[in-house]
Amino acid sequence: MGLALFFLSCHPILAKNVYGLHLTQPSDLTTAQAVINSSGGDWGWATIVIRTDQLDYYTWQNFFDNCRKYHIIPIIRLATTMENNVWLRPSRADIDNLANFLNSLNWPSTPQHIILFNEINHGQEWGGQVDIKNFTDLAIYAVDKFKSLNPNFFILSPGLDLAAPEKMPAYKNFANVYDEIKHYKPEYFSKFDGLASHYYPQNSPKDFNYELKYFPQHIPIFITETGWEHKRPYTCQAAAALTLKIVRDYAKNPKVQAVTPFIYNYPQPPFNNFSWLDNQEQLLPEYKCFIDEPKSANQPYQITNFEFQKIHLPIFMFVQKEYSGQIYLKNTGQSIWGETSFCLQPQASANIQVEPICTDNHRVFPGQIKIFSFKFKVNSTNPFKENYLAWEKIKPIEISPLTTNSTIYRPKTDLKERINGFLFKK
């Protein structure tokens, strides 16, 4: 390739939005989001590792909330802890803890992407020596565990080192890994929703196409590690341009869903030659071509849900007179109301007219409560007609006349449940 490397262009081309980054820690998202979703991009990707000793609810819920705020789809890679430069093998208890913890969080979108550990054909990544049967057993257990908790978990196989030699017990060639699994428990390959693959052309020309013969052909691909080292003979400019070329090329492949180059912020050894940020956490200028690269928008599915909190009605209401009420709803879904549409249509009531409940431009995040104002009217005095306020997915709130032929109505509830005009959810 020679000197031609210096002239690889960062000239933009349009592509679907596979663009993302591999992050080091949750706080990286604050600045990385501006790179991932630059130049027209929306809902790009971020791969990040979660360790068994880092299961802090506030840290990770805040990360997911920021993913929601910045429109980032997270890919979470499971890990244990490191001792003496070796990653400990996970136990079933570790997997249970990780699965239960990740299921307790409110993710920004659906499906919820999980990678089962990392490069298990390296002994250093699996307790000091490669053990494919042990990994296979735990992987099948992990898939079943996550799926039993939530069918929205989208489980990716671990990325392998496609350049690793056959040198047991320290290393195992990726094809021999898959052959051993195929003979041991062939059902392994149909367990996964997606294939996580690592592609480092600087070390090996192999990519996921070498892996696909083992997996179902329809399986989507996630390139969760890739890139070029910016060290001799490759300048930083050449490494950035070559990495961008990888992303561009995979953006054309309909099987590839995401490409998250390794690594955004790691300016210390051993990954300083892959880091996009310098020691002052500033983006290396050569990687600005990723910001300038035109991108498109993904449209992930988000669950929209709410919880009825309480309703505020007048204590007394006269027939044929319009009144105002307030209803309190808590956002318990994944979407941000006001950013996405949220509207509840009234349900038919023979004797009461009521307005729909809809968001305005004000954004309501998951966990927040929104007070909706509405108008309503009792049409006539008829104790035999249905008299209730109702919207879709909300239990009807009944009102009734004071007496059989009264023109005055009130909320139908015990006095113990009515405090200062508020009707509380039981």
What are the tens digits of pLDDT across the range 172-185? 999 999 999 999 99
Average pLDDT over the chain reads 90
Picking from 260, 142, 132, the residue whose alpha carbon sits closest to that of residue 193 is: 142
- Percent of the chain at pLDDT above 90? 78
Q: Could you give all domains of the chain from N- to C-terminal order, each with its CATH number?
A: 13-292 (3.20.20.80), 306-424 (2.60.40)
CB 227 within 8 A of CB 188: no
* Peptide bond connecting 111 to the previous residue in cis, omega within 30 degrees of 0: yes
Whether residue 320 has pLDDT greater than 80:
yes
Calculate the dihedral angle through the C-alpha atoms of 60, 65, 69, 72, rounding to the nearest 10 degrees.
Answer: 50
CB 421 within 8 A of CB 314: yes
Under the banding of pLDDT at 50, 70 and 90, the label for residue 313 is very high
pLDDT at 407: 87
Under the banding of pLDDT at 50, 70 and 90, the label for residue 95 is very high
Under the banding of pLDDT at 50, 70 and 90, the label for residue 350 is low
Please name the amino acid found at residue 148. Answer: S
Please name the amino acid found at residue 329. Answer: L
Quick one: which H or E segment has residue 392? Answer: none
Over residues 112-134, the pLDDT tens digits come to: 999 999 999 999 999 999 999 99
The 10 Å Cβ neighbour count of residue 60 is 20
Under the banding of pLDDT at 50, 70 and 90, the label for residue 255 is very high
What does the pLDDT average to over 398-422? 66
Whether residue 402 has pLDDT greater than 90:
no
Picking from 147, 68, 111, 20, the residue whose alpha carbon sits closest to that of residue 301 is: 111
What is the C-alpha separation between 59 and 55, in angstroms, rounded? 8
Structure tokens at 273: 């030659």
What does the pLDDT average to over 379-400? 80
What does the pLDDT average to over 159-167? 96
Structure tokens at 260: 């998250």
pLDDT at 351: 80
pLDDT at 12: 41
b/e map 249-267, b = 16+ CB within 10 Å: ebbeeebbbbbbbbbbbbb
Please name the amino acid found at residue 198. Answer: H
pLDDT at 401: 84
Under the banding of pLDDT at 50, 70 and 90, the label for residue 3 is very low
What is the C-alpha separation between 122 and 62, in angstroms, rounded? 33
Of 401 and 82, the one with more pLDDT: 82
- CA 79 from chain center: how many Å? 18
Whether residue 9 has pLDDT greater than 50:
no
Give the least confident one: 13-17, 266-270, 411-415. Answer: 13-17
This prediction has a pTM of 0.89
pLDDT at 411: 85
pLDDT at 262: 96
pLDDT at 13: 38
pLDDT at 385: 67
pLDDT at 347: 86
b/e map 379-410, b = 16+ CB within 10 Å: eebeeeeebbbbbeebeebebebeeeeeeebb
For residue 230, CA distances in Å to 140, 201, 239, 363, 396 come to: 38, 13, 5, 42, 64
What is the C-alpha separation between 272 and 292, in angstroms, rounded? 23
Give the least confident one: 1-10, 235-244, 258-267, 383-392. Answer: 1-10
